[in-house]
Structure 1
């Protein structure tokens, strides 16, 4: 059978595709921009009609598509979310559950991002995988597009694989990034625009932090950073650098701008030389168009991209991440706020350790000095939640009041330098707390 006939034999409607998913299944889905809208709506409709019960959904980064369909409050008794990264959708559900007598609506699964393929395949045992893929090429291959992450490995390990083909999903090269039609159980076609990452205006503090971080980045550095206003600001400050490389968990528009400007060449990378490597991408249409069939950019599974031993093989890795709280010893809470899970560890610790193990590498963790309109200090005596990055791993810490390299500093030196990074209104209280803890 030729590939076009193969394709047609598997093409079906969203309702028919999800009808094959039995009650009690453990389902996983593509993350972020790779969530399949038509399949998720059909699955939600089936659950609403009472057609499926006890469905457990394991996933990393959700967006409003899942929030408007399978993650609706009304379906929580039939579809149980098991989330590995908390976003706005989950935060809204957590708040709703607290208002509803403390009802637990979200099950958080702690993880390091590079371990998620193994967790989903070996420990959890996913039986169904759904995601969005690109158009099929003449050889019968789809591309996972913006989402290689855990998707490429879990999709192939699942007993049931259903894909939603979307002409707007870019075709991205890379390890495991292509999927042959023969590997798929069912196909749904749905050509809709990919979701785009909202653009948030930076604050004055962000601008100062961005300039400080950029000052820590040498020529020839290999970059990792997240998405949002701060990473884009840092990228804008790096336009004067030469021969930068990219090996990053998330590919963002700021990094793409550096590639377009010729600042990123990837020539100095020891592995994947000449290639920009990422595991998932979030941005706007212009970025997705840039990725399409671009031989200079490759995606790879997260257990490769985020493996600290792989990260360390490139020299001068600069890892840039954000946090919620930093205590006086340098430990960081990057995931817990107001008594509940707010985000997740993600790949922060993966890159913190990988960057420091890199020759000349630096891990940079940044935060504005205050939250709640200046009422709360992010430099604290003790963390309010779990430790995401242990004090022994913290390297460079940056706020709008400066930067400190914690490596090699004593507990006393750390406390004094971190207090300097706090807003002046909190200095006295932090010094008193440091004395009570015998840090100074």
Structure 2
């Protein structure tokens, strides 16, 4: 079944590669779904450019790991090789990636085409100009794309920690859909980085599953470092912390300033748990204060559960070799049924705009795509279905933009996409207060939302509500 052969070692491979110069190879057909099972082979240590010169061809599909684990040096090398070889029609599939996406540059238009499963700022321009694609999808469903062969990667480009004494590396800060991609791909190219924290759960991968390894110790990308909270964000965090987060609650937080503001308001809470597709550095302080214990959970008791993280060095140092955190695949972490079983599940997510009936736009600004579905709907519904009846699905939003435009609107912008429907939504929180929309009629919803809109816009919103509903909003 396997093709066994001797690989000539590269003599310019560094100390880590030199330790692995007795190398065997086999074909991907002998791979196992279990990335923790050691195989009778070792990776070949090469330069980044060499790895792609050996593997990259026109018409292929490349999967790239994302968030803080984005293997930027490898993706830059891929771009150079694709351009130098005058290649065509290479699809690059990924979730949110950090730093500049060189393969999305205008000069790469016919060589590479990015396909985002959740967009970041580095691809928005190319998507808007028609040079890149986006797939609207719930985060929990992304692994199905690989397992069902809807997306079939030829190459997976990942970043791992150095192997331990048993040959095990870690996917570190990003597990999410990575395992689904790499067990279904033909060739794995890995950046081996001493800065990548060693994490547990579904993060482990034995070195023998990697085909080409590249030593590169570039520090991990940092995100949102040094950004101060606005008074409005701080107020929202305080409102949620004081009124909607109970002691013993399990928390999910999306990315952004408002979830960070909520975390900063929980310093007097007890026995909180974390089960979230991602978390940021604000959780670290709560762990150190003893606020986050995860002791109320029935599963993963005493453990934080997440699928990826993005933040700063303090966060990455906290993760490193820390069994208090379990990094799991996103089809488990974001599974609506799993979420519903957690005690007092409290899901806190942000959005772009909310209309007077409660429709929530989170992935686009009008027709312009901005991000993606992510885990918002997974957790909003999971919290709503909470089996203990104490779940709290929360949409949090600053009441107006920096330009003074209301984010609670009479009707959505033309082309805007609804991520959380009016039937999914429960709590909408602004710095003005809390609107509970569950079980409310349209005119009651309008009343509640106008009450938490910015005072400068309440009169115009009330008039717009009357024109739309043909009756006045009422409690």
Q: Could you tell me the TM-score, scaled by structure 1's length? A: 0.94
CA distance in 2, matches of 1:155, 1:124: 12
The counterpart of 2:248, out of the listed 194, 214, 220, is: 220
Does the CA contact (< 8 Å) of 2:258 and 2:350 recur in 1?
A: no
Segments of structure 1 that go 5 or more residues without pairing to the other structure are: 98-103
Contact 2:146 2:180 in 1 (8 A): no
Deviations 1:381-424 (A, max 9, x none): 11221110001010110011111111121221111110111112
| Whole-angstrom distance in 1 between the partners of 2:417 and 2:144 | 23
Q: Distance in 1 between matches of 2:79 and 2:147?
A: 24
Shift of residue 351, structure 1, vs aligned partner:
0.4
Segments ≥4 residues shifted beyond 6 Å? none
Equivalent residue number for residue 164 of structure 2:
137
1:239 is the counterpart of 2:274: no
Larger gyration radius, structure 1 or structure 2: 2
Deviation at 1:63, TM superposition (A): 1.4
Determine if contact 1:168/1:194 at 8 Å carries over to the other structure: yes
SS at match of 1:208: helix
* 1:178-197 correspondence to structure 2 within 5 Å: 178-197=204-223
> What pairs up with 1:304-319 in 2 under 5 angstroms?
304-319=332-347
1:364 aligns to 2:364 (yes or no): no
Distance in 2 (alpha carbons) for counterparts of 1:153 and 1:250? 18
- Give the structure with the higher percent helix: 1
Residues 1:11 and 1:383: Cα distance change in structure 2 (over 3 Å): same
What does the per-residue CA deviation read over 1:353-389, in whole Å, with 9 as the maximum and x for residues that have no partner?
0111112110110111111421x21111112211100
More deviation in 356-365 or 70-79? 70-79
Match of 2:27 in 1: none
Which of residues 91, 107, 129 in structure 1 aligns to 2:133? 107
CA RMSD of aligned residues (A): 1.8
Per-residue Cα deviation, 1:132-165 (whole angstroms, up to 9, x for no partner): 1101111111100000000022111111111110
Alignment equivalent of 2:428, drawn from 385, 388, 397: 397
**Aligned: 1:229 with 2:262:** no
Q: In structure 2, the residue corresponding to 1:40 is in which secondary structure?
A: helix
- With 10-19 and 236-245 compared, the bigger mean Cα shift is at 10-19
Q: Aligned-pair distance for 1:336?
A: 1.2
2:364 is aligned with 1:330: no
Other structure's SS at 1:428 match: helix
Partner residue of 2:224 out of 192, 198, 205: 198
Aligned partner of 2:406 in structure 1 is 377
2:192 is the alignment partner of 1:165: yes
Work out whether residues 89 and 111 of structure 2, in 8 Å CA contact, stay in contact via their aligned partners in 1.
Answer: yes
Distance 1:177 1:26 in 2: 23
The reply to whether residue 154 of structure 1 matches residue 173 of structure 2 is: no
SS in 2 for 1:70: helix
> Does the 8 Å CA contact 1:141/1:179 hold for their aligned counterparts?
yes
**Structure 2 residue 467 is matched with structure 1 residue 436:** yes
TM-score, normalization: structure 2?
0.87
Secondary structure, aligned partner of 1:219: coil
Contact 2:383 2:391 (8 Å CA) reproduced: yes
Q: Is the 8 A contact 1:156 1:183 kept in 2?
A: no
**Range with bigger deviation, 243-252 or 180-189:** 180-189
